[in-house]
């Protein structure tokens, strides 16, 4: 009796093993569907996209203003950006409100100071409030975007003979306080009430250290105890900044 | 008696063959079940597309290429950044929804059993601060 049923037991065991194999495969397949987590990743990338776009709006506006554009272009571009996002419905409806900083030294989100103390600043700052509402998401995010290009100028001279002086000038370019490369940098010196370019002078030297530091040296006959130099530069984001400094013997 | 014993052996052989067939067919069927492809790779493609565009736009290169109509360079960048098994097609729209790229930015047309599309909003860092919608379809 037992021997007769051994074949049936064999088939039943095989069926059980088959069911186990298939259910394990289906379980693993379901486990690999990390739909919720990936959607969260996509949402993070989307928010990152909005933040990066806001930064680029600020950079483009500041570049435009420092090249002579209207100060209104910052608020106009921010309004356009908010309107552009209103038409978005990727994860839900988007609302982006921007408030340009109005606390000193900023005015309407801008701080442009190209003074003669060896430091020039071109800066824009704004607060953003982002709201994303959809069936599956509800995001409230507040972030600040600060775009600042700073130029630091310092230098000194040594007497070569008579009124002839050898000038050594250091310029440093900073983006948000960190060293940054300049797209272009020019140094001028004041002689006889006029700004002059030293590029044509015989011993003119310009060194780019590759870390946002630039060194200039040249010799020129300049009367007086103080030599005023002016550096003018735009960074890789095409934001313009300039700074003046007084060089003394040292 | 001897005839009966022979038949019993034949039945056992048939039962063993049936059991083996059941096991083999279950193994073959389970092998055909995709482990990650359905959910995993499709959604990975969306994330991959967005991350490639984010990386390209991080320093403003994407906006610069669009502003300068550098479609060839944009295509080369995508070819380098995306895996070789991914096919892509990129379309750039301006603020009014008009297509900006005058020739296709693609690595030979969309191929694959599943195609996804990701939209990316790009701000060009130029004087008029134009906005673009970049649609990347990948398969």
* pLDDT tens track for A166-218: 999 999 999 999 999 999 999 999 999 999 999 989 999 999 999 999 999 99
Classify residue A139: in a domain, yes or no: no
Chain B residues with CB inside 8 Å of A145's CB?
none
Domain tally, chain A: 1
- Which residue in the set B15, B39, B50 is minimally distant from A10, CB to CB? B15
- Which residue in the set A15, A81, A237 is minimally distant from B125, CB to CB? A237
Classify residue A126: in a domain, yes or no: no
Classify residue A104: in a domain, yes or no: no
Chain A residues with CB inside 8 Å of B123's CB?
52-53, 56-57, 60, 81
Q: How far apart are CA B137 and CA A212, in angstroms?
A: 39
Classify residue A24: in a domain, yes or no: no
Q: How far apart are CA B52 and CA B66, in angstroms?
A: 15
Bridge partners of residue A89, in order along the sequence:
none
pLDDT at site A211: 94
Classify residue A236: in a domain, yes or no: yes
Classify residue A10: in a domain, yes or no: no
Give the pLDDT confidence of A73-86 residue by residue, as tens digits: 999 999 999 999 98
Listed in sequence order, the DSSP H helices in A33-71 are 35-66
CATH number for the domain including A198? 2.60.40.1930
Chain A residues with CB inside 8 Å of B29's CB?
22
Q: Which residues 38-77 of chain B have a CB within 8 Å of chain A?
A: 38-40, 43-44, 46-47, 50-51, 53-54, 57-60, 63
Judged by CB atoms closer than 8 Å, whether chains meet at A34 and B44 is answered as no
Best B45, B56, B125, B130 member to test A by mutation, with max A CBs in 10 Å, is B125
Classify residue A230: in a domain, yes or no: yes
Classify residue A110: in a domain, yes or no: no
Chain A residues with CB inside 8 Å of B27's CB?
21
pLDDT exceeds cutoff 50 at A15: yes
pLDDT exceeds cutoff 60 at B39: no
Give the pLDDT confidence of B66-99 residue by residue, as tens digits: 999 999 999 999 999 888 888 899 999 998 889 9
Give the pLDDT confidence of A107-144 residue by residue, as tens digits: 999 999 998 889 999 999 999 999 988 877 888 999 99
Q: Report, in this order, helix, strand and coil percent for chain A, each rounded to 5.
A: 30, 45, 25
pLDDT exceeds cutoff 70 at A229: yes
Best B13, B26, B93 member to test A by mutation, with max A CBs in 10 Å, is B26
pLDDT at site A59: 94
Q: What percent of chain B has pLDDT over 90?
A: 34
A114: its two tokens: 């190209």
Q: Is A26 on the interface with B (CB under 8 A)?
A: yes
Q: Domain containing A170: what range?
A: 151-249
Q: How far apart are CA A23 and CA A29, in angstroms?
A: 10
pLDDT exceeds cutoff 90 at A55: yes
Chain B residues with CB inside 8 Å of A19's CB?
26
- In angstroms, how far apart are the furthest CA atoms of chain B? 103
- Exposure letters A160-181 (e unless 16+ CB within 10 A, then b): eeeeebebbbbbbbbbeeeebe
Give residue B40's pLDDT band: very low, low, confident or very high (50, 70, 90).
very low
Where is average pLDDT lowest: A89-93, A101-105, A158-162? A89-93
Q: How far apart are CA A50 and CA B135, in angstroms?
A: 15
């Amino acid at each position: 009796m037992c021997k007769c049923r051994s074949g049936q037991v064999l088939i039943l065991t095989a069926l059980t093993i088959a069911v186990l194999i298939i259910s394990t495969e289906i379980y693993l397949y379901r486990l690999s569907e990390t739909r919720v987590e990936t959607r969260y990743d996509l949402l993070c990338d989307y928010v990152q996209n909005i933040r990066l776009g806001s930064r680029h709006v600020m950079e483009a506006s500041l570049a435009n203003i420092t090249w002579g554009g209207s100060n209104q272009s910052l608020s106009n571009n921010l309004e356009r950006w908010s309107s552009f996002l209103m038409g978005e419905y990727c994860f839900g409806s988007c609302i982006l409100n921007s408030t340009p900083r109005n606390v000193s030294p900023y005015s309407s989100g801008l701080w442009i100071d190209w003074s003669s103390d060896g430091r020039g600043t071109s800066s824009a700052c704004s607060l953003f409030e982002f709201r994303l509402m959809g069936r599956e998401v509800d995001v409230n995010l507040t972030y600040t975007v600060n775009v600042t290009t700073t130029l630091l100028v310092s230098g000194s001279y040594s007497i070569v003979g008579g009124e002839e002086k050898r000038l050594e000038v250091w310029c440093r370019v900073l983006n948000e306080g960190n060293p940054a490369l300049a797209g272009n940098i020019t140094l001028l010196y004041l002689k006889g009430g006029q700004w002059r370019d030293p590029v044509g002078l015989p011993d003119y030297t310009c060194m780019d250290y590759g870390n946002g530091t630039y060194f200039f040296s040249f010799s020129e006959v300049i009367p007086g105890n103080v030599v005023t130099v002016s550096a003018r530069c735009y960074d890789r984001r095409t934001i313009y900044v300039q700074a003046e400094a007084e060089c003394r013997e040292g | 008696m001897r005839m009966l014993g022979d038949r019993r052996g034949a039945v056992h052989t048939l039962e063993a063959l049936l059991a083996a067939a059941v096991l083999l067919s279950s193994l073959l069927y389970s092998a055909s079940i995709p482990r990650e492809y359905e959910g995993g790779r499709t959604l990975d493609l969306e994330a991959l597309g967005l991350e490639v565009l984010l990386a390209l736009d991080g320093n403003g290169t994407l906006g610069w290429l669009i502003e300068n109509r550098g479609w060839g360079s944009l295509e080369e960048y995508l070819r380098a950044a995306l895996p070789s098994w991914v096919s892509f097609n990129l379309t750039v729209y301006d603020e009014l929804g008009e297509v900006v790229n005058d020739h296709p930015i693609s690595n030979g047309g969309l191929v694959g059993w599943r195609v996804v599309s990701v939209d990316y909003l790009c701000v060009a860092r130029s004087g008029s601060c134009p906005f673009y919608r970049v649609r990347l379809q990948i398969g």
